[in-house]
Amino acid sequence: MAAVAPQARITRTAVAVLALAGLLTAARSAPAAKSGATSASASALKVMVDKTKVDMKAHRLEVKMSRPAGKVKITVYDESNAVLADDEQNFSGRAGGTPLIVTWNPSSDAPVGKIELRAYDAQGNWVGVEIAPWFVNIPHDDVNFKTDSAEIDAPEVPKVEAAFAKIEEALAKDSAAGRMHSGITLYIAGHTDTVGNPTHNFKLSQDRARSIAAWFRKRGVKIPISYEGFGETSLAVKTADNIDEIRNRRADYVLSDGPPTLSNSFKPSWKRIP
């Protein structure tokens, strides 16, 4: 949690640089209260961003202000500092503490390097927040498991070997750039199609995710590794029940400084590989 030092009047950009590791709060004093104004009108404007509500895939996040809202300006940059999105959204009339959903429409699929927010209250006071998320979806060929098996067979090993190389490359790139975000974890998420019993599919997806996570640990990944099964809850291709769809039988390999949002209907309970 970080805070911007209060001043009597906002005359220039005030930015709290925040990693996605909890409830992010930035504060700035409002201008001195006018005659007859209540004490609340002179209280510091605080802006809160809950990292669990930052959805990089859906291009949205949630902001709360301690005072009645005015507007939010958002600028999204890629890792080379090129602008991916620049927008302003009006929230006039929203009471303090109301969740404000801020969205952006990126010009490309390039990974996000940082997000700059400037949140204005109804009186024009503002707080600037810079969010430095780190979310890298590792491209890979999915392991083909035998029916009801979570064992990685020898012919499938080159696929996880290739993914391992990409994981090491991404970590090295982050380190070389001088960032090396704290709390980076490799998340392995298993998914199934809709064929069979949902309970069985959930357990199977979890077992397979654990198998892949354990392989990466044994292979030499040093950072924390967490895994979870999502079963049928996060279909890549929407289908009816009992549909054999290979694109839904997959796994996500994600490097992130916080648990990724992969499903809107299922709250994962990530398990850690020793």
Asked if the model's pLDDT at residue 80 lies above 60, the reply is yes
Task: Lay out the sheet containing 112-121: strands in order across.
Answer: 15-19, 126-132, 112-121, 69-78, 83-90
Burial pattern 55-79, b for ≥16 Cβ within 10 A else e, equals bbeeeebbbbbbbbbbbbbbbbbbb
Helix (H, G, I), strand (E, B) or coil at 53: helix
Q: What pLDDT does residue 178 have?
A: 59
Q: Look at residue 102 and tell me whether its pLDDT is greater than 50.
A: yes
Please tell me which residue, 71 or 135, carries the higher pLDDT value: 71
Q: What stretches of 175-221 adopt beta strand conformation (E)?
A: 185-191
Query: 15-132 is classed in which CATH architecture?
Result: Sandwich (2.60)
Least confident of 18-22, 233-237, 245-249, 255-259: 18-22
Q: What is the pLDDT of residue 34?
A: 33
Domain ranges of the chain: 15-132, 135-273
Nearest to 195 by CA among 156, 228, 235: 235
What span, in angstroms and rounded, lies between the C-alpha atoms of 90 and 80? Answer: 29
**Does residue 245 surpass a pLDDT of 50?**
yes
What would the CATH number be for the domain defined by 135-273? 3.30.1330.60
Q: How confident is the model at residue 107 (pLDDT cuts 50, 70, 90)?
A: very high
Distance CA(21)–CA(77), nearest Å, equals 19
Give the pLDDT confidence score for residue 181 in this predicted structure: 62
Residue-wise pLDDT for 169-207, tens only, equals 999 887 776 555 667 899 999 999 899 899 999 999 999
* φ/ψ of residue 47, rounded to 5: -125, 130
Contact call for residues 197 and 169 (beta carbons, < 8 A): no
Q: Beta strand pairing status for 185-191 and 225-229?
A: parallel
pLDDT value at residue 157: 97
Is pLDDT at 75 greater than 90 in this prediction?
yes
Q: Please give the residue that has the higher pLDDT: either 18 or 103.
A: 103
Distance CA 94, CA 118 (A): 16
User: Span 77-104, mean pLDDT?
Assistant: 94
Percent of the chain with pLDDT over 90: 54
Query: For the chain, what is the mean pLDDT?
Result: 82
Q: Do domains 15-132 and 135-273 have the same CATH topology?
A: no
pTM: 0.62
Interval 28-49 mean pLDDT: 54
73 and 32 Cβ atoms separated by less than 8 Å:
no
Instruction: Give the pLDDT of residue 261.
Output: 79
